[in-house]
Amino acid sequence: MTYCVGITVNDGLIFASDSRTNAGVDQISAYSKMYRFFGDGERMFTMLTAGNLATSQAVVRQMRRDLDSGAATNLKTLPHLAEVADYIGSISLAAQRKHAGSKEEKFDAGASFIVGGQIAGKPPQIFLIYPEGNHIRATARTSYLQIGELKYGKPILDRIVEPKLDLETAARCAMVSMDSTLRSNITVGPPLELLIYRTDSLLPGEHIVFEEDDEYLRTLRGTWQEGLMKAFEQLPRLPSSAPQHPVRLVDAPGDQ
Amino acid sequence: MTYCVGITVNDGLIFASDSRTNAGVDQISAYSKMYRFFGDGERMFTMLTAGNLATSQAVVRQMRRDLDSGAATNLKTLPHLAEVADYIGSISLAAQRKHAGSKEEKFDAGASFIVGGQIAGKPPQIFLIYPEGNHIRATARTSYLQIGELKYGKPILDRIVEPKLDLETAARCAMVSMDSTLRSNITVGPPLELLIYRTDSLLPGEHIVFEEDDEYLRTLRGTWQEGLMKAFEQLPRLPSSAPQHPVRLVDAPGDQ
């Protein structure tokens, strides 16, 4: 599995991804799932991938070929980020269809993508591209998008993320969300990659790779665990015991 | 959906469940998913249900009929909790098979159960019964079991639950796990039910129902949110910015 998250705040964009891929529990490897494009003062894109690794690699390969060959439609020519999302969706669908109808019925070539960034003169945006090729955009009300093993890391995002967060805080929240996921699911693992993009910079942004034994990551984990324990200890105690009367032989709600 | 959790600690057992059921977003109702049996000094069982409501109601109905008719196998005669789990599993399978082969291919009659409690002279235990009818038991190493929408509420259990927790703390942790799930998933909703059972009491235990506007629940939520925010604010800041060099036109990892 995978866990990737993209956050949009007023100050810019945050991307975070893990690096574990597995095809069964005895075939685990580390692959980067963060692909960075440009940052040349004109446009900057970052793409995160989840799902079938062959499909996501095929998509990246095609994107590069289109760039190299100067195809009519490529990352350099598309005028809007939504069209970049469309473009990625259609390559993804084509890549998946190649392998449809294979023998294995349970085979799933599906892949999901988060793509975000900025094109000069336009606002920074983040899109989520579904395996079906269609996409949705993060907005001020729903200012983060996730792909892969997303549920473990969602509660902290729901509690913290809002458009007025500064970039460092939003990035820290993404790292905590990553850490909760790592802790609860062994198919998500380090190194973790983080990219912080400042609105209108049109630069590649700050790209940080955290290895498993990274000191910051270790401190973050320890401090967060301690803080959570302290928050938990400070919770109000449950209302004091009700008297324990035996219930009816079968005291269950609902009809008989 | 549903979220139910059972926790086993040295001092006893904790059961918690929400009450929302939905068949599509416009057919939402509140049903108790906690069924309590006995507590008569001889045996005490609590069952939590998730999945198809018709199946889980059919299972409870059959359990009651077997008790009322004095069937050879019933909740009163089974000597071990593992056999109670077997019994529930086989009733569940039979109930599901009745409706197999119905027209709707996507129809899922599956239901999961958590059943726990104690029989006089034996240790308290908790089992999870899968839709397939087989079951697993919570142990000292894996001292909680969940059914339904389980991922949102898992991280806090992973961080807090251990066998030496006192009953109140374990119950509080279950409530926080419930709250995280409620917050992130609208198909899980109040009232919340909590049952606290003390080892060897063989009484029904302390049963608390928290309505949506329950004062304790509101205080718990508020305090937890505040505590989390404080813990988050105290996290170490990310390492200071690396210089932003433009990357290659396409600076992406992996092969070409």
Return d(Cα A212, Cα A178) in angstroms, integer. 13
What per-residue confidence (pLDDT) applies to B183? 84
Which residues in chain B (74-133) have CB-CB distances under 8 A to chain A? 75
Q: What is the pLDDT of residues B108-129, one digit of tens each?
A: 889 999 999 999 999 999 999 9
What per-residue confidence (pLDDT) applies to B254? 40
Provide, as residue numbers in chain B, all residues whose Cβ is less than 8 Å from the Cβ of A203.
244, 246
Best B238, B240, B251 residue to mutate vs chain A (most A CBs within 10 Å): B238
- The minimum CA-CA distance between B102 and chain A, rounded to whole Å, is 22
Cross-chain Cβ contact B208/A253 below 8 Å: no
Return d(Cα B84, Cα B63) in angstroms, integer. 10
Domains of chain B: 3-228 (3.60.20.10)
- Mean pLDDT across the stretch A1-13? 95
Burial B149-164 (b: 16+ CB within 10 A, else e): bbbbbbbbbebbbeee
Q: What is the pLDDT of residues A196-222, one digit of tens each?
A: 999 999 999 999 999 988 999 999 999
* Chain centre to alpha carbon of residue A19: 11
Return d(Cα A160, Cα B225) in angstroms, integer. 9
Beta bridge partners of A196: A14, A206
Return d(Cα B55, Cα B51) in angstroms, integer. 8
- The minimum CA-CA distance between A122 and chain B, rounded to whole Å, is 20
What per-residue confidence (pLDDT) applies to B249? 39
Say if B240 is an interface residue toward chain A (CB within 8 Å). Answer: no
The reported pTM is 0.85
Cross-chain Cβ contact A252/B37 below 8 Å: yes
Q: How many CA atoms lie within 13 A of A136 on its CB side?
A: 12
The neighbour count for residue B252, using CB atoms within 10 Å, is 18
Provide, as residue numbers in chain B, all residues whose Cβ is less than 8 Å from the Cβ of A152.
151-152, 154-155
What per-residue confidence (pLDDT) applies to B253? 43
Say if B205 is an interface residue toward chain A (CB within 8 Å). Answer: yes
Tell me the pLDDT of chain B (256 aa) as tens digits. 799 999 999 999 999 999 987 766 677 778 899 999 999 999 999 999 999 989 999 999 999 999 999 999 999 999 999 999 999 999 999 999 887 766 566 678 899 999 999 999 999 999 999 999 999 999 988 999 999 999 999 989 999 999 999 999 999 999 999 998 988 887 788 899 999 999 999 999 999 999 988 999 999 999 999 999 999 999 999 986 544 444 443 444 443 3
What per-residue confidence (pLDDT) applies to B24? 65
Q: To the nearest whole number, what is the mean pLDDT of chain A?
A: 89
* Residues in contact with A205: Cβ distance below 8 Å, sequence separation at least 6, in sequence order: A12, A13, A36, A39, A44, A46, A195, A196, A197, A198, B244
Provide, as residue numbers in chain B, all residues whose Cβ is less than 8 Å from the Cβ of A223.
231, 234-236
What per-residue confidence (pLDDT) applies to A252? 43
ipTM score for this prediction? 0.85
Provide, as residue numbers in chain B, all residues whose Cβ is less than 8 Å from the Cβ of A75.
250
What per-residue confidence (pLDDT) applies to A103? 58
CA B98 to each of CA A10, A256, B78: distance values in angstroms, whole numbers, following the listed order = 56, 19, 25
Integer-rounded Cα radius of gyration of chain A: 22
Return d(Cα B115, Cα A38) in angstroms, integer. 56
Cross-chain Cβ contact B159/A237 below 8 Å: no
- Residue of chain A whose alpha carbon sits nearest to that of B231: A227
| Contact status, residue B118 vs residue B36, Cβ threshold 8 Å | no
- Residue of chain B whose alpha carbon sits nearest to that of A229: B160
Return d(Cα B235, Cα A220) in angstroms, integer. 6
- The minimum CA-CA distance between A205 and chain B, rounded to whole Å, is 6
Best B77, B115, B232 residue to mutate vs chain A (most A CBs within 10 Å): B232
Q: What is the pLDDT of residues A44-74, one digit of tens each?
A: 999 999 999 899 999 999 999 999 999 999 9
Provide, as residue numbers in chain B, all residues whose Cβ is less than 8 Å from the Cβ of A173.
232
| Contact status, residue A11 vs residue A149, Cβ threshold 8 Å | no
- Residue of chain A whose alpha carbon sits nearest to that of B205: A244
Write down the residue that tokens 């600690």 correspond to: B9
How many CB contacts within 8 angstroms connect chain A with chain B?
216
Say if A197 is an interface residue toward chain B (CB within 8 Å). Answer: no
A256 has pLDDT over 50? no
- A61, A159, A204: residue with CB nearest B246: A204
Provide, as residue numbers in chain A, all residues whose Cβ is less than 8 Å from the Cβ of B34.
253
Return d(Cα A109, Cα A113) in angstroms, integer. 13
- The minimum CA-CA distance between A244 and chain B, rounded to whole Å, is 6
- Residue of chain A whose alpha carbon sits nearest to that of B184: A155
| Contact status, residue A35 vs residue A47, Cβ threshold 8 Å | yes
* Residues in contact with A214: Cβ distance below 8 Å, sequence separation at least 6, in sequence order: A190, A191
Total residue length of chain B = 256
- B158, B201, B238: residue with CB nearest A171: B238
Cross-chain Cβ contact A224/B231 below 8 Å: yes
Q: What is the pLDDT of residues A14-39, one digit of tens each?
A: 999 999 877 666 777 788 999 999 99
- Residue of chain B whose alpha carbon sits nearest to that of A169: B237
